[in-house]
Amino acid sequence: MSLLDDLRGAIGAGHVLTGEDCAAWSRDWTGQYSWTPLCVARPADTGEVSAVLRLAHAARCPVVPVSGMTGLTGGASAEGAVMLSLDRMTAIREIRAPARLAVVEAGVVLEQLHAAAAEQGLAFPMTFGAKGSARIGGMLATNAGGSNVLRHGNTRDLVLGVEAVLADGRVVDLMSELHKNNAGYDLRHLLIGSEGTLGVITAAVLKLVPRPRAHATAMVATATLTEALALLNRLQDMTGGAVEAFEYMPGAYMRRYATLHPEVQLPLGQDHAVNLLVELGATAPRDATPDETGAVPIVSYLEEVLADLLEEGAVQDAVVAQTDAQRRAFWALRESAAEVTLSRKPVLLNDVAVPVDRVGAFLERAEAAIRAVDPGAESTAVSHLGDGNIHFGVWPSEAGIARKEALTEAVEDVVSEMRGSFSAEHGIGLSKLGSMARRKDPVALEMMRAVKSALDPRDILNPGKLVP
């Protein structure tokens, strides 16, 4: 009670929630994890974040930073802990169009930043299905990926600087606006992806890019993933790297989506093995300005390329979006991946990465591996095909439910043999601690533990996560 009273004194009684007021912060989005926090503290600024951490550090009380609650690995689980929500820190402090950067607080919702940048003719080129609720702090803490990584990189690649509060309340100012800075260790990158175990990111300097003046978006079917990769490379070569998204949905995924949404007519009516969402972004006026017939050059170009490939037999079918509504409908298919995957439970979520030319081989071998453990198991998959990230869900049979860990290890074996990663973009949290213990290089784990001990010797920051 003394800590609660101290917290109320530091940030205001109305911003320290307890009991039933914590309900919205007491379970994860998947429903797999639930907990009862000591309280939810909602500071208004970096100074108040510092005060909360100083008090918790003195009391040796665990603190779990929380963002938009859209995580999939239990990273916000906080039994008996102070949950530190930055949802009041929502200022977009500055957008400097000439420098193409934004200075934002950690509680800014991704979609809000998209809108603010668009007003300046710019874009923050990170997007994914949870953009309407995910916050910048959580994205940085997990080094979020998404659909535009192919062209613009992960969250880490879009950050120039950060501000963070350490476990004992000290504030570290790394808010660089520089593209080149070799002044010692890059502590910014140490904090990004640390899942709140090394410090609480409170603000960031983010890179912006020119907003595409037009998009060309299509649903395309190919016979194999080999042909799909050839299509990607051809489009990249012929457009100078203008491919922003290249998303793969297998036939089984489309059938499951159709079952969940019988009211939706799929763009490609036939049952295809390989369904691709392809999007090009045009920033040059010559590619985006409609001609005298009203045709947009980048759209016409994609239509021409796909027509040639259809004639060659390299593509089985294709539909190019003609309106924004049609484009949104295409994206709705892909951004329903979480709904499709979680439509059956229990489900094992595997977020893996392999070399881009081995995605097909991974899917074949992973399917065989899970069937060897549980003959009745089924799988579902989608992939950011352009960067080799595969979301491979496993629905165990009733007999296989007790063999969850064995199923996970079977998938890991395939990933390891391909020199891939068992965690591509969702983070480690709680659910992948076993994978870290089994698969992470032992020396690397020793280094991680040493860093954690140096920055958080009392182990109060998101304890029990990320590092086994």
pLDDT of residue 238: 86
pLDDT of residue 1: 67
Of 194, 209, 195, 245, the C-alpha closest to 78 is: 195
Of 181, 180, 162, the C-alpha closest to 172 is: 162
Q: Which two tokens stand for residue 265?
A: 């007519």
Is residue 155 over pLDDT 90? yes
Percent of the residues in the chain that have a pLDDT greater than 90, as a whole number:
92
d(CA 118, CA 141): 25
d(CA 27, CA 20): 13
pLDDT in tens, 386-433: 999 999 999 999 888 888 899 999 999 999 999 999 999 999 999 999
Q: Which helix (H) or strand (E) holds 39?
A: strand 39-41
pLDDT in tens, 38-80: 999 999 999 999 999 999 999 999 999 999 898 889 999 999 9
Beta-carbon contacts of 404 under 8 Å, excluding residues fewer than 6 positions away, are 346, 348, 396
pLDDT of residue 123: 97
What residue ranges define each of the domains in the chain, with the CATH number in brackets?
Answer: 2-85 (3.30.43.10), 92-210 (3.30.465.10), 214-330 (3.30.70.2190), 344-426 (3.30.70.2740)
For range 333-362, the mean pLDDT: 94
pLDDT in tens, 17-46: 999 999 999 998 888 899 999 999 999 999
For range 142-169, the mean pLDDT: 95
pLDDT in tens, 184-212: 999 999 999 999 999 999 999 999 999 99
Q: How many CA atoms lie within 13 A of 382 on its CB side?
A: 23
pLDDT in tens, 269-299: 778 999 999 999 999 999 999 999 999 999 9
Q: Which two tokens stand for residue 425?
A: 């973009």
- Is 268 within 8 Å of 222 (Cβ atoms)? no
For range 94-122, the mean pLDDT: 97
Cis-peptide into 125, omega within 30 deg: no
Question: DSSP states of 179-234 as a string?
Answer: S---SSS-HHHHHTTSTTSS-EEEEEEEE-EEPPSEEEEEEEEESSHHHHHHHHHH
Within 10 angstroms of residue 163's Cβ, the number of other Cβ atoms is 23
d(CA 37, CA 62): 10
Question: DSSP states of 376-411 as a string?
Answer: T-EEEEEEEGGGTEEEEEEE--TTTGGGHHHHHHHH
